[in-house]
C-alpha cells in the first residue's frame, strides 16, 4: 500500500473529507488530493501531524507496519462524524420542543419555542456546518445569545462596569455583578480563541497585519463617532419606541470590536513568530 493510499484509507476511516483534513493541517484541499494520488509527498512536519490526527505512529503511517506484539482492537468509526450526529440530535430536539409548544399555544407558543430553543438551534447548525473548532464556535454563539437576551430583557450590558466606582444600591448591585461576569467570560473566551488561532503554522505578512490594524482603527473610529451622528441623535429623541434598534446597533458595534481586536492580536502574534 502506497503512502497516498494509506492517507486515503485513514481519512475515510475517520470520516473526514479532503477539505476537513486540509483544514486540520493548514494546507489546501488540492495538496491533500495530490498526496492521495501519489503525485506529491507531505513534508516531515505534515507527516507528524497526520500521524497525530490518525492516532498512529509515524512508522505505521510511512511504512505501513505495526509492532508484532500489538493486537488491533481498533474499531473503525462510522463515516458520519460525531459532530454531525450531535448536530442532528440538537436540531431534532429543538424542532420537537417548538412543535410541542406550538401545539399547546399556537403561534405564540411557536415564537416562545424558537426563542427558548435558539441556543440549541444555533449549536446544532454549527455542528452540522463547521468542522473545525466546533466547540469554540458553539461557546461563542451561546455567549452572544445570552448577551443579547440580557441586553433586550434587562438592559444589562458589559459597559456598566465602567460605572463601578459610582454604582449605588439603588442601581441594583446584581446588575453590576452580571455585567462583570459577562466581561470576565468575554476575556476568557477571547484568550482561548487567540491561543487556538495563534498556534497555526500559517504565516502572516506585513500587509495582512497592517490590514488587521486598519480594521481595528476603523471599528474604533465608528464606535467613537457614532454618539455624535444624526442617527444616534434621532434614536435618543425617540428612545422609548426605538430602544430595540439602538441596542441592536450597539450590539453589532461591540462584537465588531471584539472580532477586530482578536484578529489583530492573532495576526500580530503570528507575525512576530516569523
Residue 223's contacts (CB-CB under 8 Å, 6 or more residues apart) are: 253, 257
Helices and strands, counts by H and E, the chain: 11, 0
End-to-end CA distance of the chain: 37
Torsional sign, CA 26, 29, 32, 34: negative
Domain ranges of the chain: 3-63, 202-274
For residue 76 the three cell numbers come to: 473503525
Q: Note down pLDDT in tens along the chain; length 274 residues.
A: 788 888 888 888 887 888 888 888 888 888 888 888 888 888 888 888 888 888 888 878 787 544 444 444 444 444 457 888 888 999 999 888 888 877 777 777 777 778 888 889 999 999 988 878 899 999 999 999 999 999 888 888 898 999 999 999 888 999 999 999 999 999 999 999 999 888 876 678 889 999 999 999 999 999 999 989 998 888 888 877 788 888 899 999 999 999 999 999 999 998 887 6
Q: What is the Cα 123 distance to its own chain's centre?
A: 10
H or E segment to which residue 274 belongs = none
Measure the CA–CA gap between 124 and 87, rounded to whole angstroms. 4
Global pTM reads 0.67
Q: Find out whether 179 and 220 touch, Cβ atoms under 8 Å.
A: no
The CATH H-level (homologous superfamily) assignment of domain 3-63 is lambda repressor-like DNA-binding domains (1.10.260.40)
CB neighbour class for 42 (10 Å; exposed up to 12, middle 13-18, buried from 19): buried
Over residues 36-73, the pLDDT tens digits come to: 888 888 888 888 888 888 888 887 878 754 444 444 44
Amino acid at each position: 500500500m502506497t503512502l497516498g493510499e494509506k492517507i486515503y484509507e485513514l481519512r475515510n476511516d475517520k470520516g473526514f473529507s479532503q477539505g476537513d483534513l486540509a483544514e486540520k493541517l493548514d494546507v489546501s484541499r488540492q495538496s491533500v488530493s495530490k498526496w492521495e494520488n501519489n503525485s506529491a509527498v507531505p513534508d516531515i512536519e505534515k507527516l507528524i501531524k497526520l500521524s497525530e490526527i490518525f492516532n498512529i505512529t509515524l512508522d505505521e503511517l510511512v511504512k505501513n507496519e505495526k509492532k508484532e506484539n500489538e493486537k488491533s482492537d481498533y474499531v473503525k468509526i462510522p463515516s458520519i462524524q460525531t459532530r454531525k450526529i450531535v448536530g442532528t440530535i440538537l436540531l431534532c430536539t429543538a424542532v420537537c420542543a417548538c412543535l410541542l409548544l406550538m401545539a399547546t399555544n399556537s403561534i405564540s407558543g411557536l415564537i416562545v419555542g424558537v426563542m427558548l430553543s435558539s441556543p440549541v438551534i444555533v449549536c446544532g447548525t454549527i455542528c452540522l456546518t463547521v468542522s473545525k473548532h466546533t466547540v469554540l464556535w458553539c461557546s461563542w454563539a451561546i455567549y452572544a445569545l445570552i448577551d443579547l437576551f440580557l441586553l433586550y430583557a434587562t438592559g444589562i450590558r458589559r459597559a456598566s462596569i465602567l460605572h463601578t466606582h459610582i454604582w449605588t444600591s439603588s442601581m441594583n448591585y446584581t446588575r453590576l455583578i452580571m455585567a462583570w461576569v459577562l466581561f470576565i467570560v468575554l476575556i476568557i473566551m477571547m484568550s482561548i480563541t487567540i491561543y487556538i488561532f495563534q498556534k497555526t503554522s500559517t504565516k502572516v505578512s506585513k500587509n495582512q497585519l497592517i490590514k488587521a490594524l486598519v480594521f481595528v482603527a476603523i471599528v474604533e473610529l465608528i464606535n467613537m463617532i457614532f454618539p455624535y451622528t444624526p442617527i444616534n441623535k434621532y434614536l435618543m429623541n425617540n428612545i422609548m419606541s426605538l430602544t430595540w434598534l439602538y441596542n441592536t446597533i450597539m450590539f453589532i458595534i461591540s462584537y465588531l470590536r471584539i472580532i477586530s481586536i482578536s484578529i489583530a492580536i492573532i495576526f500580530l502574534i503570528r507575525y512576530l513568530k516569523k
